[in-house]
C-alpha cells in the first residue's frame, strides 16, 4: 500500500496520531491552512468540504523532478469522490457540477506568496449546466472567465496583461467603467476571448477536462514553493526552504451569488491596537480576492451586523470559539453563500507590536493564557517597535495648519517614518541600501514589492484597506504604513503624486504616521514615546522580570542617559565611556594640549584641568544610579582620534606652501608632524586601551582619581555608590598586573584624603581573543569581565567592521556565507565559543566572577539568549533597548527552563 498523501478533514485524528500528537507537526504535514480547516471541522465550525495533499507529497514531487509520488493522484481522485458524496454534486457533471478551489498552504503563513486557482471544474459544459441550475448566467461566466485567467496565469504561465487588456477593451467598447456594469452576455463573450488568449499564448486549448485542471493546478501549487517570490519571502523571514507546501482542495462557495451572499476577512481583535473587538472588512456579492486585493472599497465588519444580523451573530460566536480554541487572536476568512456562512480559513493573526502586547496582557488577564505564555507571545522586536520615536504632536499640529497634511488613509501599521518618496520597490531598495531614508509610495503593493518594503522606512498606498497586502506585510516587518489614502493621485510614469493640485516628486521628503494614517509633506521631527504611559507594556515587562535570570544593565555616558536607563528598568550601568566626555567643545582643546604636551609638567597641568569635568560627570551618574553598580571604562581610543583631521591640515599646508604663505605655516607643520607621528596603519589594533594606559599612565590615573573623588563626594551625601573601574583591551594578565595596582593605589589615596571608604571593583573587558583564551590568568587579577563583543568579533573574524560592512560583509550575508551579520548577532560557533571559554576559565579561577557584555550585542535578543546560556550575570545595552533586553532575557530563561 502506498503512503498516505491525501487527508480528508475527518482524517485529522489519524494525521495527529501519525506525527505523535504534536499540532506543530500536523501543521508541518498538512500546512497551516489545511490543518486549521480540519481543526475547524473537528470543533464544529462550518467549513466547505475539502481535503489536503500533504507537504510530504510536495517535497516528493519536487525531489523526483516534478513527478507525483506513487499513489498520490489515485488518493486525490478518491478524495474527490468523497467530496462528491458529501456535497451531492459531481465533478464535471453539467447537471450539478462540483467546483473546487486549489490553494497552497505551508507550515508557516506566507501571505500571497504562493498560488491559488479557484472554480476548478468549470468548462463549457458545466458552465452551461450551472446557468440552468442557478439561472444566473452573469455569475457563471464571470466565474468561468476567472478560472481561465487564474489558470492561465498560475498554471499555464500566461501573464495577466492580455486578460486585463481584453477586459478593459470590452469595458471601453461597452462604454462602462466598472465590472458590475457588464452584462451576462459580456462575460460570456469575454470567456470566449480568454479562451482564445490561452490558445494564442500557449498554442493549446484551455483544458476542458476538470481532472486535467485539478492535476495541473495541484502541480502548479507544488511548483510555486520554489517560485522566486516564495524563495525571497522565505529568505527575508527565515523560513526554511525544505518544508514544502500542502495543497488544499476545497469545495467552492460563492460570495458573489447575489446580495444575500458576501465575503470578508476579519481579525478577532484589532490587529493594530489589540482592542478586544472584531476588526475586518467585507463586501456583499463579491469574491474573496476583491477584499484582500484592496481593489474595491470594503465595508467595516461592524456594518454586517445591520446588513445580516443573524449571520453576524453566528460569525461572532465562531470567532469567539476559534479564539478560545486557539488561545490567540485569529485572522479568519469567510464567505456567505446565499445566506449560509462558511469559514474558509483561520490562523493566528499578525498584529502590530502594540496589539501584540495588549492582546497578550489581556488574554492573560482573561485567564485564557498564563503569564509565561503572555511573555512568550510578544517578540522582543515588538518592544523595540514600541520604543521607537513618534512624531512630535505639536509640530504635527503646526504642519496641519501649514497645509502640509497631504492625505489621510488607513492606519495600517503604527510608527512614524520620514523619508524620500520612491515610487517603485527597486528604487526603494537601491536607496535604502545606500543608507537613504525612503518612503515607498505605490497605488497598492504586490508580493513582488516586498524587497522594496523591507528597505523602506515606511509604506504609503492610495488604495486598499487594513487587510490589504501592503498593510499585512508592513505590520509583519514593523514598518509604519498608511494605506488607502485615496486622495493621492499617483502618476508612476511621471514619477510624482498629486493631491489638491500639490505635486510631490520622487525624491522629495514626506512623513507618514502609521498610527493615525496621516501623510505629510516634508520632514516632521519625532519624539520618544512615553514609556511610563504604556501600561500593558509595563505589565508585560514586570511579568518578564519574574522569569529572567540575566540582569539587564545599560550603557550610558551621561547622567541623563543613566536616568533614562534606570526608568526603563536598568539594574546597573555596564559601560560608561569616559572618552566621550573628552570630545565636548570646552574640553577638547585641553585634551589636545594634554596629548601634545612636551613635558610631563605640561601634561599634568592639562590633566589637572580635565579632572573637575570628569568628576562632575561621574557625580551625576553615581547619583542617578544610587544603590546600583556603575562600570566606568577608562580611556580606550587611540589619542589621534582627539586630534584635528590630518588630511585637511595637509591640504592647508600644501596650499600655503605652494602659495608661499609663511604666516602660521610652521605651527601648522608642527601640528601635522605631531599628528603624523601618531599615525598607525591599523589603529584599531594599535596604541589604545590598556596599552595607552601603560605607556602613558597619567590619563588613567587622573580618571581614577576623578571616579573616586566623585564616588566619595556622593557617598558623603548619602548616595550608595558602587563604582567598578573597567580597564579595556587587556590581552595578557601582566598588563593588568602592571597598571591595576597603580590605579588601586590612586583609589586608596583618594579615599584616605576624603576620609570615607566605598565598595569598588577593578575589572577588564574581554575583547581580544587572547584575553578569552587566557581568561583563567586574567581573572586572577580582574574582579569582573565585560565582553566587548564589537572588538572581539572584529578580532576573532579578522574584520575591521567599517571596512568589512562597506566591502564584503553584507555580501557575505546575502550569499549565505554568514547566516547573520556577526556585529548584530553573536557568532556562536566562533566568537561565542571564545566567550564560553572565557566564562568557564574565568570562573575556574574566581568562582564569583561577575560577567557581562557591553558590546552592541547586549541588546540583540538572539545574543541575549546566548548570554543566558553561558551563564553571564548581566547584559548591558543602550537605554532604549533595556525593555527589549528584559523581555529577551525572559524568553531565554523560559525557553531553556530546567
- Only one of the segments 180-188, 350-358, 646-654, 708-716 lies at the binding site for its own copies (rule: CB under 8 A); that segment is 646-654
Residue 599 engages its own copies in binding (rule: CB under 8 A): no
Among 71, 686, 697, 698, contact with its own copies (rule: CB under 8 A): 686
The single residue among 732, 754, 761, 843 that binds its own copies, judged by CB under 8 A, is 732
How many Å is the Cα radius of gyration of the chain?
A: 33
Nearest CB to its own copies, comparing residues 514 and 769? 769
Instruction: For residue 469, indicate whether it is catalytic.
Output: yes
Closer of 782 and 804 to its own copies (Cβ): 804
> Position of cell 476542458?
208
Cell numbers placing 102: 486549489
> Considering the rule CB under 8 A, would residue 327 count as an interface residue with its own copies?
no
| Residues within window 348-367 making contact with its own copies, judged by CB under 8 A | none
Q: Which helix (H) or strand (E) holds 51?
A: strand 50-53
CA dihedral of residues 138, 140, 142, 146 (deg, nearest 10): 180
* Binding window for its own copies (CB under 8 A); candidates: 344-352, 385-393, 613-621, 727-735: 727-735
State the nearest-atom distance from the C-beta of 735 to its own copies, in Å.
6
| Residue 13 within binding range of its own copies, rule CB under 8 A | no
Does position 651 bind its own copies by CB under 8 A?
A: yes
Taking CB under 8 A as the rule, does residue 695 contact its own copies?
Answer: yes
Residues within window 529-548 making contact with its own copies, judged by CB under 8 A: none
Contact 767, 792 (CB under 8 A): yes
Our finding on whether 869 is near its own copies (CB under 8 A) is no
Q: Kindly state whether residue 811 participates in binding its own copies, applying the rule CB under 8 A.
A: yes
Q: CA nearest 191: which of 144, 233, 236?
A: 144
Binding piece for its own copies, criterion CB under 8 A, among 30-38, 167-175, 495-503, 653-661: 653-661
What's the rounded Cα separation, in Å, for the pair 426 and 429? 5
Which CB, 434 or 658, lies closer to its own copies?
658
Rounded least distance, CB 543 to its own copies, Å: 38
Q: Check binding of 494 to its own copies (CB under 8 A).
A: no
Q: How far is the CB of 595 from its own copies (least distance, A)?
A: 14
Q: Give the residue with the Cβ less far from its own copies, 759 or 803.
A: 803
Instruction: Determine, following the binding rule CB under 8 A, whether residue 641 of this chain makes contact with its own copies.
Output: no
Stretch that binds its own copies, among 309-317, 420-428, 558-566, 676-684 (CB under 8 A): 676-684
Three-class secondary structure assignment of 147-214? HHHHHHHHHCCCCCHHHHHHHHHHHHHHCCCCHHHCCHHHHHHHHHHHHHHHHHHHCCCCCCCHHHHH
DSSP secondary structure string for all residues of 121-140: T--HHHHHHHHHHHS-HHHH
Return the residue of 6, 804, 875, 877 that touches its own copies, per CB under 8 A.
804
Instruction: Return d(Cα 809, Cα 136) in angstroms, integer.
Output: 61
Q: What share of the chain is helix, strand, coil (3-state, %, to 5)?
A: 50, 15, 30
- CA-based nearest residue to 725, from 745, 748, 710, 708: 708
CA distances from 311 to 110, 255, 301, 342, 816 (A): 29, 13, 12, 10, 50
- Judged by CB under 8 A, the stretch of 361-369, 463-471, 713-721, 803-811 that binds its own copies is 803-811
Number of residues that bind its own copies (CB under 8 A): 57
Supply the minimum distance, in Å, between the C-beta of residue 488 and its own copies: 40
Q: What angle do CA 232, 233, 234 make, to 5 degrees?
A: 95
How far is 416 from 395, CA to CA, in rounded Å? 13
Taking CB under 8 A as the rule, does residue 803 contact its own copies?
A: yes
Q: Indicate which single residue of 87, 237, 486, 800 sits in contact with its own copies (rule: CB under 8 A).
A: 800
The dihedrals phi and psi of 633, each to the nearest 5 degrees, come to -95, 130
* Angstrom distance (rounded) from CA 885 to CA 245: 35
- The answer to whether residue 636 forms part of the interface with its own copies (CB under 8 A) is no
42, with CB counted inside 10 A (0-12, 13-18, 19+), is middle
The single residue of 451, 469, 857, 891 carrying the catalytic annotation is 469
- Residue 263 or 693: the one with the smaller Cβ distance to its own copies is 693
x/- string (CB under 8 A) for its own copies, residues 746-785?
---------------------xxxx--xx--x--------
53: left (phi over 0), alpha (psi -120 to 50) or beta: beta
236 in Cβ contact with 450 (< 8 Å): yes
Nearer Cβ to its own copies, position 45 or 772? 772
List the one residue from 802, 840, 844, 871 that touches its own copies (CB under 8 A).
Answer: 802
Q: Using alpha carbons only, what angle is made at residue 377 by residues 375 and 380, rounded to the nearest 5 degrees?
A: 75
Which residue, 74 or 802, is less far from its own copies as judged by CB? 802
- Cα 66 to chain centroid distance, Å, stands at 34
Among 82, 588, 684, 869, binds its own copies (CB under 8 A): 684
Options 203, 204, 598, 659; binder of its own copies; rule CB under 8 A:
659
Strand partners, 240: none
Residue 453: CB atoms within 10 A of its CB come to 26
Q: Quick one: 586 or 663, whose CB is closer to its own copies?
A: 663
For residue 409, state whether it binds its own copies (rule: CB under 8 A): no
* Residue 662 interacting with its own copies (CB under 8 A): no
Stretch 155-174 residues interacting with its own copies (CB under 8 A): none
Please report whether residue 729 would count as binding its own copies according to CB under 8 A.
yes
Should residue 834 be labelled a site residue for its own copies when binding is judged by CB under 8 A?
A: yes
Find the part of the chain contacting its own copies (CB under 8 A) among 250-258, 411-419, 717-725, 828-836: 828-836
CB of 772 to its own copies, least distance (A): 9
- What are the E-state strand segments in 206-327? 245-251, 262-267, 279-284, 299-300
d(CA 837, CA 871): 12
- Alpha carbon 375 to chain centroid, angstroms: 18
List, in sequence order, the alpha helices (H) in 625-683.
646-659, 665-677
Are 490 and 423 a contacting pair, CB within 8 Å?
yes
673 sits near its own copies (criterion: CB under 8 A)? no
Buried b (16+ CB within 10 A) or exposed e, 335-353: bbbeeebbbbbbbebbbbb
Which of 808, 840, 844, 895: binder of its own copies (CB under 8 A)? 808
What is 432-497 written as a DSSP string?
HHTT--EEEEESS--GGGHHHHHHSSEEEESS--TTSHHHHHHHHHT--EEE--TT-EEETTTTEE
Q: On the CB side of 650, how many CA atoms lie within 13 Å of its CA?
A: 7
817/844 with CB nearer its own copies = 817
Q: Min. distance of Cβ 739 from its own copies in angstroms?
A: 10
**Catalytic residue from among 58, 319, 712, 854:** 854
Q: For residues 160 and 803, which CB has a smaller minimum distance to its own copies in the complex?
A: 803
Position 650 contacts its own copies (CB under 8 A)? yes
106, 152, 219, 220 from 115: Cα distances, Å: 11, 12, 11, 8
- Counting contacts by CB under 8 A, is residue 642 touching its own copies? no
Active site residue 854: yes
Stretch that binds its own copies, among 189-197, 521-529, 532-540, 787-795 (CB under 8 A): 787-795
Place of cell 550603557: 555
CB of 519 to its own copies, least distance (A): 38
In the complex, what is the shortest distance from the CB of residue 675 to its own copies, in angstroms, rounded to a whole number?
13
Least Cβ distance, residue 256 to its own copies (angstroms): 52
Four-residue CA torsion sign, 42, 47, 50, 52? negative
Catalytic residues: 469, 854
The contact set with its own copies (CB under 8 A) reads 647, 650-651, 654-655, 658-659, 680-687, 691, 694-695, 729, 731-732, 734-735, 737-738, 767-770, 773-774, 777, 791, 794-800, 802-804, 807-808, 811-812, 815-818, 827, 829-831, 833-834
Amino acid at each position: 500500500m502506498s503512503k498516505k498523501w491525501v487527508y480528508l478533514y475527518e482524517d485529522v485524528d489519524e494525521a495527529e496520531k501519525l506525527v505523535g500528537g504534536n499540532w506543530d507537526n500536523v501543521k508541518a504535514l498538512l500546512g497551516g491552512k489545511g490543518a486549521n480547516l480540519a481543526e475547524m471541522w473537528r470543533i464544529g465550525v462550518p467549513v466547505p468540504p475539502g481535503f489536503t495533499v500533504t507537504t510530504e507529497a510536495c517535497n516528493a514531487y519536487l525531489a523526483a523532478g516534478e513527478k507525483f509520488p506513487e499513489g498520490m493522484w489515485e488518493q486525490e481522485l478518491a478524495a474527490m469522490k468523497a467530496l462528491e458524496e458529501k456535497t451531492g454534486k459531481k465533478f464535471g457533471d453539467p447537471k450539478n457540477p462540483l467546483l473546487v478551489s486549489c490553494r497552497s498552504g505551508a507550515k508557516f503563513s506566507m501571505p500571497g506568496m504562493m498560488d491559488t486557482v479557484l472554480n476548478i471544474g468549470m468548462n463549457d459544459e458545466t458552465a452551461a449546466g450551472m446557468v440552468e441550475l442557478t439561472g444566473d448566467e452573469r455569475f457563471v461566466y464571470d466565474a468561468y472567465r476567472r478560472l481561465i485567467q487564474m489558470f492561465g496565469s498560475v498554471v499555464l504561465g500566461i501573464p495577466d496583461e492580455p486578460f486585463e487588456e481584453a477586459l478593459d477593451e470590452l469595458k471601453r467598447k461597452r462604454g462602462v467603467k466598472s465590472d458590475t456594469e457588464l452584462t451576462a452576455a459580456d462575460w460570456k463573450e469575454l470567456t470566449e476571448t480568454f479562451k482564445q488568449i490561452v490558445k494564442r499564448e500557449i498554442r493549446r486549448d484551455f483544458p476542458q477536462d476538470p481532472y486535467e485542471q485539478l492535476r495541473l493546478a495541484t502541480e502548479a501549487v507544488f511548483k510555486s514553493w520554489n517560485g522566486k517570490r516564495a524563495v525571497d519571502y522565505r529568505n527575508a523571514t527565515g523560513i526554511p526552504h525544505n518544508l514544502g507546501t500542502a495543497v488544499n482542495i476545497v469545495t467552492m462557495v460563492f460570495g458573489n451569488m447575489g446580495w444575500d451572499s458576501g465575503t470578508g476577512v476579519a481579525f478577532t481583535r484589532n490587529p493594530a491596537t489589540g482592542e478586544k473587538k472584531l476588526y475586518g472588512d467585507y463586501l456583499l456579492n463579491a469574491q474573496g480576492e476583491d477584499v484582500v486585493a484592496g481593489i474595491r472599497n470594503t465595508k467595516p465588519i461592524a456594518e454586517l451586523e445591520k446588513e445580516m444580523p443573524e449571520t453576524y451573530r453566528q460569525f461572532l460566536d465562531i470567532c469567539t470559539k476559534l479564539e478560545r480554541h486557539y488561545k490567540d487572536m485569529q485572522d479568519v476568512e469567510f464567505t456567505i453563500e446565499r445566506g449560509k456562512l462558511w469559514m474558509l480559513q483561520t490562523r493566528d493573526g499578525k498584529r502590530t507590536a502594540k496589539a501584540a502586547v495588549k492582546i497578550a496582557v489581556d488574554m492573560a488577564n482573561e485567564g485564557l493564557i498564563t503569564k509565561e505564555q503572555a511573555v512568550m507571545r510578544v517578540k522582543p522586536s515588538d518592544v523595540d517597535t514600541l520604543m521607537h520615536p513618534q512624531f512630535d504632536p505639536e509640530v504635527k499640529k503646526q504642519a496641519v495648519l501649514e497645509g502640509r497634511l497631504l492625505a489621510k488613509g488607513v492606519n495600517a501599521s503604527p510608527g512614524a517614518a520620514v523619508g524620500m518618496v520612491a515610487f517603485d520597490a527597486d528604487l526603494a531598495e537601491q536607496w535604502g541600501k545606500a543608507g537613504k531614508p525612503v518612503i515607498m509610495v505605490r497605488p497598492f503593493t504586490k508580493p513582488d514589492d516586498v524587497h522594496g518594503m523591507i528597505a523602506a522606512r515606511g509604506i504609503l498606498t492610495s488604495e486598499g484597506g487594513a487587510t490589504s497586502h501592503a498593510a499585512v506585510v508592513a505590520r509583519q516587518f514593523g514598518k509604519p504604513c498608511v494605506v488607502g489614502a485615496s486622495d493621492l493621485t499617483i502618476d508612476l510614469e511621471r514619477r510624482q503624486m498629486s493631491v489638491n493640485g500639490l505635486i510631490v516628486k520622487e525624491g522629495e521628503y514626506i512623513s507618514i504616521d502609521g498610527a493615525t494614517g496621516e501623510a505629510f509633506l516634508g520632514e516632521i521631527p519625532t519624539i520618544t514615546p512615553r514609556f511610563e504611559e504604556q501600561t500593558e507594556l509595563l505589565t508585560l515587562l514586570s511579568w518578564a522580570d519574574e522569569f529572567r535570570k540575566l540582569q539587564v544593565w545599560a550603557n550610558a555616558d551621561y547622567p541623563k542617559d543613566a536616568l533614562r536607563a534606570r526608568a526603563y528598568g536598568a539594574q546597573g550601568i555596564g559601560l560608561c565611556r569616559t572618552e566621550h566626555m573628552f570630545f565636548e567643545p570646552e574640553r577638547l582643546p585641553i585634551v589636545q594640549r594634554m596629548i601634545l604636551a612636551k613635558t610631563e609638567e605640561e601634561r599634568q597641568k592639562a590633566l589637572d584641568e580635565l579632572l573637575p569635568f570628569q568628576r562632575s560627570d561621574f557625580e551625576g551618574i553615581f547619583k542617578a544610579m544610587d544603590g546600583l553598580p556603575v562600570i566606568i571604562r577608562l580611556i580606550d581610543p587611540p589619542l589621534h582620534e582627539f586630534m584635528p583631521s590630518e588630511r585637511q591640515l595637509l591640504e592647508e599646508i600644501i596650499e600655503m606652501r605652494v602659495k608661499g604663505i609663511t604666516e602660521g605655516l610652521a605651527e601648522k607643520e608642527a601640528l601635522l608632524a605631531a599628528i603624523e607621528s601618531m599615525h598607525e596603519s591599523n589603529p584599531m589594533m594599535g596604541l589604545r586601551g590598556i596599552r595607552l594606559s601603560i605607556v602613558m599612565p597619567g590619563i588613567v590615573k587622573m580618571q581614577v582619581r576623578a571616579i573616586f573623588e566623585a564616588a566619595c563626594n556622593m557617598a558623603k551625601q548619602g548616595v550608595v555608590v558602587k563604582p567598578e573601574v573597567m580597564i579595556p583591551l587587556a590581552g595578557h594578565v601582566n598588563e593588568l598586573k602592571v597598571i591595576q595596582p597603580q590605579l588601586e593605589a590612586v583609589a586608596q589615596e583618594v579615599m584616605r584624603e576624603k576620609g570615607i571608604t566605598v565598595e569598588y571593583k577593578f575589572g577588564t573587558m574581554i575583547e581580544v581573543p587572547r584575553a578569552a583564551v587566557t581568561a583563567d590568568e586574567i581573572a586572577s587579577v580582574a574582579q569582573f569581565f565585560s565582553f566587548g563583543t564589537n572588538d572581539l568579533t572584529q578580532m576573532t573574524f579578522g574584520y575591521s567592521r567599517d571596512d568589512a560592512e562597506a566591502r564584503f560583509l553584507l555580501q557575505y550575508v546575502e550569499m549565505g556565507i554568514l547566516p547573520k551579520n556577526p556585529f548584530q548577532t553573536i557568532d556562536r560557533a566562533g566568537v561565542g565559543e571564545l566567550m564560553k571559554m572565557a566564562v568557564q576559565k574565568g570562573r575556574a579561577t574566581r568562582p564569583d566572577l561577575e560577567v557581562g557584555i557591553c558590546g552592541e550585542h547586549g541588546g540583540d535578543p538572539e545574543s541575549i539568549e546566548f548570554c543566558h546560556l553561558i551563564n553571564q550575570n548581566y547584559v548591558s545595552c543602550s537605554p532604549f533597548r533595556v525593555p527589549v533586553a528584559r523581555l529577551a532575557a525572559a524568553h531565554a530563561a523560559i525557553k531553556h527552563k530546567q
